[in-house]
Structure 1
């Protein structure tokens, strides 16, 4: 649970930028100038990162609720198992 924020938000940072830029480039190549594609990419990226940061408290709340439901011992064993794989 220590690095939950990094896993929840950090993975979004790189993947959303690449995904957004590639999809927009493929979809609008020849229809929009590269500068327009970059501008749209940056706006979409900012939006996606903003949403990821905004929902971080919900991710922590869900994690805590699952831990309470499963019990500390089972939740810890499952976390350790997931980290090992």
Structure 2
């Protein structure tokens, strides 16, 4: 993720799964501090915390939702490499 405003990889968008039952997406820093929590009204993370640019680092994400057919809860943990770069780098 490179949230530098160039239109490429600027955000992480959970819109495709936000309407699933029991949807949750939370992003944490390496110390476990929650820096973003997606919801139906705000499913897009712009790579900022409290409106401020955060440092280049690896962040962690936990996404969960209930499958509509099986009614099983799915949970995925993954990482996000965020690089804060200017357009000319």
Place the TM-score, normalised by the shorter chain, in its bin.
Answer: under 0.3
TM (norm. structure 2) is: 0.25
Compute the TM-score of the two structures, normalised by the length of structure 1.
Answer: 0.26
Question: Which is richer in strand?
Answer: 2
Give the helix-richer structure, 1 or 2. 1
